[in-house]
Chain A
Amino acid sequence: MPTVLVLAEHADGALRPVTGELLTAARRVGTPAAVVVGAPGAAAALAGELAAAGAEKIFVAESPDADSYAVTPQVAALQAAVEAAGGAGEVAAVLLPNTVDGRDIAGRLAIRLDSGVIADAVDLDESVVATLSVFGGSYVVTSQVTQGIPVITVRAGAVTAEPVAGAGEQVPVQFTVDPATATTVTAVHTEPAGDRPDLAAAQTVVSGGRGVGSADKFSVVEQLADALGAAVGASRAAVDSGYYPHQFQVGQTGTTVSPQLYIALGISGAIQHRAGMQTSKSIVAVNKDPDAPIFEIADFGVVGDLFDVAPQLTQEVSSRKG
């Protein structure tokens, strides 16, 4: 069986859920092997979890450089892991998460391996044919790499993790970073995740638009979200008006969401917003304007003031929960 390499995504000594999803996709094609890139000691903390998630092998690429530089350590480590796994004839694919870093690593690696790339796959079959959801889900496209070892980034949350424990055999690999092409990371600022679910993976999302009117009044959106156990999203107009932080933007240039339930409050439903949410299972919209385009795709639309409807709904949801 050929090997499928999976870049393990980890932070603060913990695996990100997408790693399990990638290992599940890898098992369809061949023998899943994880590649851990990190400071010395990083792999020891993750090995148990990786084996449980399905890694038969764990390529351990540790170096003090791993956290000092952006992207190029992972590129060099994956290249070394491809070699260690037997090279082109033995490696059926390299899978990475479709994050900013994941796509950068994929791009550089593809040139080093002389390979084609597929970005943002939502599914992968046993013959390494990837499924893409294009233009906000308006098209379903399948595509295939025809040159070199396929390098594929996979959307988080798209593949359901089905852990089958693997042997987790650790294999050290060496790599070096060329300082001439290296970007130095001097500081990292991440927000603590908080109590709400991750936007991209949430089962329910409540989003507010320009109609919310101010940052303070976004509490109306948050209260409904919390009653439903939902993530909070925002339109680009709401973000650009300073009502809500950028990382919560939903749409063409923000996060793509596909929850069971999406509630849009004071959002007109511009085509670029719809591109990021129209594959949601159920859509509820509240808007003052009966002609707002969001109603064209809403399963349940309310023509009304969100400051009347949302608090009443919050109350109903809370009381039904008892």
Chain B
Amino acid sequence: MKPGMNIAVLVKQVPDTYAERRLKDDGTLDRDAGEAVIDEIDSRGVEVALQLAEQHGGEVTVVTMGPQRATEALRKALAMGADKAVHLVDDALAGSDAWQTSAALAAALRTVGFDLVITGNEASDGMTGTVPAMLAERLGLPQVTSARKVTVDGTTLSAEKLIDGGYAEVTAPLPALVSVSEKIADPRYPNFKGIMAAKKKPVQTLSAADLGLSNTGGANAASRVVSSAPKPPREAGQKITDDGTAGAKVAEFLATERLI
């Protein structure tokens, strides 16, 4: 580890939210359905890590668990400025649930070493939002989730975190885990120099066996999909062009539908 603050950032590759997303019949994600991108929330996590490392020194390591092509998400983070990457990739991990994902990521993080772990508050595909707290519990860390502002002073982390109906000011001793919320920072665009430099940065790959993981994969998951069914898409109703009376016509529609 370098002097300063060493930060591990988790990034997940997800189906692009701009495209239609699909589940397979067994309820798992159809990862071939659309383009795969670094989850937007995780690119914000990388941005926060880079800003903290710029202030305090230290190294930023990005970590992912996912199929082979998830290296693209790592390269994107490296092009933004992260120093190195760890890719946990193994067919035996396919179909993991949140419990297993947190076990695997915790094992990978232990090999990295860190003062701070940064994650997104909720992945845009699985959306359970439970992996960060599970990781904190497994690693024996305090958790500061859904942060909208983070500062570090010595070994104390201070943050504003979202809560129901507002926000709370919190502090925690380092090492700690932070999950970022959408409004914390806009991710920087990688420039040409960054993209070229990223090609030379180290990406370490790890298998389930490297980390001594057992009972991996969907067949051993702690939660399982029983059934999965698509809902028929909504259909368009009537559409009018305003001729000066559209407000009144909407009111009529609402009255007919007994909505007013």
Which residues of chain A have a CB within 8 Å of any CB of chain B?
A: 70-72, 75, 99-101, 103-108, 110-112, 115-120, 129, 134-135, 137-148, 150, 180-191, 193, 204, 228, 246-247, 252-253, 260-261, 270-272, 275, 278, 282-284, 286, 290, 295-305, 308-317, 320-321
Contact = CB atoms under 8 A, between A and B. Distances in A.
Interface of B: 17-21, 23, 27, 41, 97-99, 102, 121-122, 124, 127-134, 136-138, 140-146, 161-173, 176, 182-183, 221-231, 233-242, 244-251, 253-255, 257, 259-260
Given A300-B238, A313-B250, A120 B231 contact: no
B223 A118 contact: yes
Contacts of B122: 253
Nearest to A229: B260
A134 B235 CA distance: 19
B136 A309 contact: no
A320 B251 contact: yes
Contacts of B172: 182-184
A81 B163 CA distance: 24
B213 to A, nearest CB: 15
A135 B143 contact: no
Q: Which of B27, B122, B239 has the most CB of A within 10 A?
A: B239
Contacts of A312: 245-248
A146 B170 CA distance: 35
Contacts of A70: 143-144, 161, 168, 170
Q: Report whether over half of chain B's contact residues are helix, strand or loop; otherwise say mixed.
A: mixed
A117 B128 contact: yes
A282 B58 CA distance: 53
Nearest to B252: A316
Most B CB atoms within 10 A — which of A106, A117, A310, A313?
Answer: A117
Nearest to A134: B23
Contact of A144 (B17, B19, B223): B223
The 6 closest A-B pairs by CB, nearest first: A312-B247, A304-B242, A116-B222, A107-B133, A190-B166, A316-B251
B27 A143 contact: yes
A313 B253 CA distance: 11
Contact of B99 (A117, A183, A188, A313): A117
B43 to A, nearest CB: 13
Given A144-B226, A315-B247, A111 B134 contact: yes
A141 B227 contact: yes
Nearest to A228: B260
Give the most central of B130, B167, B249: most A CB within 10 Å: B130
A107 B132 contact: yes
Contact of A186 (B165, B170, B223): B170
Contacts of B161: 70, 100
Q: Name A's interface SS.
A: mixed
A94 to B, nearest CB: 13
Contacts of B17: 252, 271-272, 275
A119 B223 CA distance: 11
Contacts of B164: 99-101, 190
Contacts of A290: 239, 241
B222 A115 contact: yes
A101 B129 CA distance: 10
A295 B236 contact: yes
Contacts of A303: 239-242
Contact of A117 (B130, B140, B236): B130
B127 A301 contact: no
30 contacts: A70-B144, A99-B164, A101-B164, A103-B133, A111-B138, A119-B127, A139-B228, A139-B229, A139-B230, A141-B23, A141-B227, A142-B226, A142-B227, A143-B223, A144-B226, A184-B170, A184-B172, A185-B168, A186-B171, A187-B168, A189-B169, A247-B165, A271-B20, A298-B239, A300-B237, A301-B240, A304-B241, A311-B247, A315-B247, A316-B251
Interface centre among A105, A181, A271, A284 (most CB of B within 10 A): A181
Contact of A189 (B167, B222, B240, B242): B167
A137 B231 contact: yes
A272 B17 CA distance: 7
Contacts of A309: 242, 246-247, 250
A282 B20 CA distance: 22
A298 B134 contact: no
B223 A204 contact: no
B250 A284 contact: yes
B61 to A, nearest CB: 22
Contact of A296 (B223, B236, B240): B236
Contacts of B246: 286, 302, 304, 308-309, 312
Contact of B134 (A108, A139, A204, A313): A108
Nearest to A148: B222
B225 A142 contact: yes
Contacts of B143: 70-71, 104, 108, 183
A115 B18 CA distance: 34
A166 B225 CA distance: 33
Of the candidates A118, A183, A312, the one having the most CB atoms from chain B within 10 angstroms of its own CB is A183
Contact of B142 (A101, A181, A253, A304): A181
